[in-house]
Structure 1
Amino acid sequence: MTELHLWLRHEVRSTERRTPIVPSDALRLVANGVTVTVEESPQRIFPVEEYEKAGCRVAKAGSWVSAPGDAVIVGLKELPDEPSELTHRHVFFGHAYKRQPGAAGLLRRFAAGGGALYDVEYLVDEDGRRLAALGFWAGYLGAALAVLQHRGRLAAPLVPTAKEELDERLRSGDEQFSALVIGALGRSGRGACEAFRAAGVEPTRWDLAETRELDRPALLAHDVMVNAVLATSPIPPFLRDEDLDDPARRLRTLCDVTCDVGSPLNVLPVYDRTTDWTDPARRLREKPPLDLIAIDNLPSLLPRESSTDFSAALLPQLLAFGTGDAWVRCLGRFHQACREAGIEEGEFRRD
């Protein structure tokens, strides 16, 4: 069996401070015979020296493009626009299987180079449950930002912090309001509910039972709403443009944790672009006001906590890379997405 070589790449997004492999888990990988190369990164929450101490090799940022062909490139968020041909196997969140903007282009880059995408979102067990996810922290931060925005205390630009500092800010306000979490039983939903409780607010919790026949007036009667539902098949939208203009609307702050904008499966088709750290809240309506928060890398605001949890879940999967059934399913989902995008198997130079 060929020795596994994992290559931890630098994230090109300047606000991305998380990592899918923390130094303590890199040490365990090395101890199990895995070669780990770590790119230098000025923003990663863990300095490269900690990886060196764990026995990892160090490489320059962006050098994965010339990594050995058998190296598995590991990251979190989007790849740079170049190279146009992707020759390696990549592990990251590709956001390319639901016809999102740019999805077909990314898949064709893999087809052109003969590489493969192992999308972590589709690294699941036999029952379809995700094996490594950042959902809890995405939900926690989504609700936390919604609380701060609703109380007029959300400062821009956003900066990474520690959970203790964030919780202190949530506890410091005493304004009461009604809050709704949709998808409350999932990872993100549980995180959102926890943040609301930290702010002294007990949210209404909706999940599958409450959304099969949506009570839209009840939804609009809440002051704050957090959507934590990532749809995998078409369902009626939770909010429509006409709902935002409903004179009975009490809703003032909306946070979409899933940020599925551009996808035909988007359950909140009332906005066409995400927000970011520089401008975290966008006004959707003026009278009465309605503000949207839709940031697609929320857990990076708590980079140490979210990285540590994610890495712990991903570690046993990485130790079984290429052999476990979950990776076989993951690769199969990639090829299915390529076929759905009109990319024929013959376009690939190799599997």
Structure 2
Amino acid sequence: MLKIGLIREGKQPPDHRVALTPFQCRWIMQRWPQIQIMVQHSPIRSYTDEEYQQAGIQVVEDMQDCDVLMGIKEVPIDQLIPGKTYFFFSHTKKKQPHNRLLMQACVNKKITLIDYECLIHEDGQRMLGFGFFAGVVGAHNGLMAYGKKTSLFDLPRAYTCRDLQQLTESYYGIKLPPLKIAITGSGRVAAGILEVMGLLGIKDITPGEFLINEYQYPVYTQLKAGDLYLHKSERSYSREHFHAHPYEYECKFLPFTTAADILMNGIYWEQGMAPLFSWDDLCNPHFRIRVIADITNDPGGSIPCNLGDSTIDDPVYGVDRCTRQKLPPYLPHTVDMMCVGNLPDELPRDASRYFGEQLIKYVIPELLQPDSPILEKATILQKGKLTPRFCYLEDYAYGS
């Protein structure tokens, strides 16, 4: 019998998502009788203890009896159970400084750490993620911020809506002013952004049209990696070469800073990739962008004026374009930043259901295999020791 435990989220600010919904838990145990699922008591989870109990799922406090523990966000160090196998988004594969102590605690407690972010298909695409709902909420929040900054329209907060359907209903009767939105990326996040564009009837135009024309209605253009990056000497773009040698490419986004009113950033970023623009560009009087929804949210990454996370309660802050100071939002001379790190938590029930569907499709069957190359590739730590694929983390995981 494989015992899977759904742990409550302990990171602050609180997160309300869960890896599997009550119905999904029941379905798994009916489909695979050799699996038993238990849920740790939580007063904040978007699916209540009572909903799990009604689905026939045992709600407990102690997770010691479980073989595999599944969460969403990073697990607080004092809540880690030694010797267990954990699934969660650890945010350690890029040597994120704020999670180094977490990584070292997992080493010391001889934990097997499997990171959702590292579960990938053969072509390198991620199997799991909340990117779609990050895109939906991020796009909504970006538009909400622009409406508040200009006083031209008003959108409700996403988290006040029961689910995506109610958020969609909040768009009825909303008439947006003429505005131009630049969207970067082509993955799950971008798909979520495009969902909102469609719901609001915002017209899609080509990048070339976006740069030279003005419109009497709202428009957007989508800029994929091939539209944004160019090899410095070859003057071409190759996805494989770009990801292997990002420092050899320059970014072509700069002209859009003088054409767009809103930037919705959904592009993947890693160390070595050129930012979309520089601080000096931000200070240019022709810089037109007034709101940036940095949905991928990499401080020090593709958006230089990302000065750190905002929160669901307080999602927007202003940045003085020339002094680089963090200021209150909606001032005339600032660019307003929306940099919430847990955007899908504004629609936690929909996001959890979507995530659980992917988990059932791609991961649960692998747990029943004696050997799974998919899980092996995603395992950062095996009983507290770095696996060969992640040996580059040695100084991060073992160093003082």
Describe how 1:244-255 pairs up with structure 2 within 5 A.
244-255=282-293
1:303 is aligned to 2:301: no
What displacement does 1:15 show? Answer: 4.0
What displacement does 1:26 show? Answer: 0.4
Equivalent residue in structure 2 for 1:205, among 204, 222, 244: 222
1:280 is aligned to 2:315: yes
- Residues 180 and 147 (structure 1), Cα distance of their counterparts in 2 relative to 1, 3 Å cut: same
Q: Which runs of 5+ in 2 are unaligned?
A: 149-153, 204-219, 231-251, 321-330
User: Structure 1 vs Structure 2: percent identity of aligned residues?
Assistant: 24
1:221 is aligned to 2:222: no
Equivalent residue in structure 1 for 2:298, among 260, 266, 269: 260
CA distance in 1, matches of 2:82, 2:268: 28
Residues 238-288 of structure 1, C-alpha deviation per residue, up to 9 Å, x if partnerless?
A: 1322222111011001011112226xxx21232231000221100012553
What displacement does 1:313 show? Answer: 0.6
CA distance in 2, matches of 1:95, 1:272: 18
Match of 2:5 in 1: 7
Secondary structure of 2:352's partner? helix
8 Å CA contact 2:76–2:102 kept in 1: the answer is: no
CA distance in 2, matches of 1:46, 1:111: 32
What is the TM-score when the length of structure 2 is the normalising length?
0.77
Query: Which letter does structure 2 place at the counterpart of 1:164?
Result: Q
* Higher mean displacement: 231-240 or 152-161: 152-161
8 Å CA contact 1:160–1:303 kept in 2: the answer is: no
**Which structure has the larger Rg?**
2
CA distance in 2, matches of 1:208, 1:157: 29
Q: Which runs of 5+ in 1 are unaligned?
A: none
8 Å CA contact 2:95–2:393 kept in 1: the answer is: no
Secondary structure of 1:170's partner? coil
8 Å CA contact 2:312–2:343 kept in 1: the answer is: no
CA distance in 2, matches of 1:205, 1:245: 24
Query: Which letter does structure 2 place at the counterpart of 1:244?
Result: L
Describe how 1:1-351 pairs up with structure 2 within 5 A.
3-12=1-10, 13=12, 15-31=14-30, 32=32, 33-60=34-61, 63-64=62-63, 67-68=64-65, 71-83=67-79, 86-152=82-148, 153=154, 159=160, 161-171=162-172, 172-183=174-185, 185-202=186-203, 203-213=220-230, 214-232=252-270, 234-261=272-299, 266-285=301-320, 288-316=333-361, 317-321=363-367, 323-331=371-379, 335=387, 336-337=389-390, 339-342=392-395
What displacement does 1:8 show? Answer: 0.2
What displacement does 1:160 show? Answer: 5.3
8 Å CA contact 2:306–2:339 kept in 1: the answer is: no
- Residues 312 and 272 (structure 1), Cα distance of their counterparts in 2 relative to 1, 3 Å cut: same
* Higher mean displacement: 139-148 or 322-331: 322-331
Query: Which letter does structure 2 place at the counterpart of 1:324?
Result: S
What is the TM-score when the length of structure 1 is the normalising length?
0.87
Residues 177-215 of structure 1, C-alpha deviation per residue, up to 9 Å, x if partnerless?
A: 1001100x2111011012123223232100111111413
- Residues 222 and 20 (structure 1), Cα distance of their counterparts in 2 relative to 1, 3 Å cut: same
Query: Which letter does structure 2 place at the counterpart of 1:16?
Result: D
Query: Which letter does structure 2 place at the counterpart of 1:24?
Result: F
Query: Which letter does structure 2 place at the counterpart of 1:26?
Result: C
- Residues 341 and 253 (structure 1), Cα distance of their counterparts in 2 relative to 1, 3 Å cut: farther
Query: Which letter does structure 1 place at the counterpart of 2:35?
Result: V
What displacement does 1:168 show? Answer: 3.2
8 Å CA contact 2:95–2:396 kept in 1: the answer is: no
- Residue correspondences, number: 335
CA distance in 1, matches of 2:132, 2:158: 23
8 Å CA contact 1:160–1:300 kept in 2: the answer is: no
Query: Which letter does structure 2 place at the counterpart of 1:180?
Result: A
CA distance in 2, matches of 1:46, 1:327: 27
Secondary structure of 1:255's partner? strand
CA distance in 1, matches of 2:41, 2:265: 35
- Residues 49 and 338 (structure 1), Cα distance of their counterparts in 2 relative to 1, 3 Å cut: farther
Secondary structure of 2:78's partner? coil
Query: Which letter does structure 2 place at the counterpart of 1:150?
Result: Y
CA distance in 2, matches of 1:14, 1:157: 17
8 Å CA contact 2:114–2:375 kept in 1: the answer is: yes
CA distance in 1, matches of 2:227, 2:9: 38
What displacement does 1:139 show? Answer: 0.6
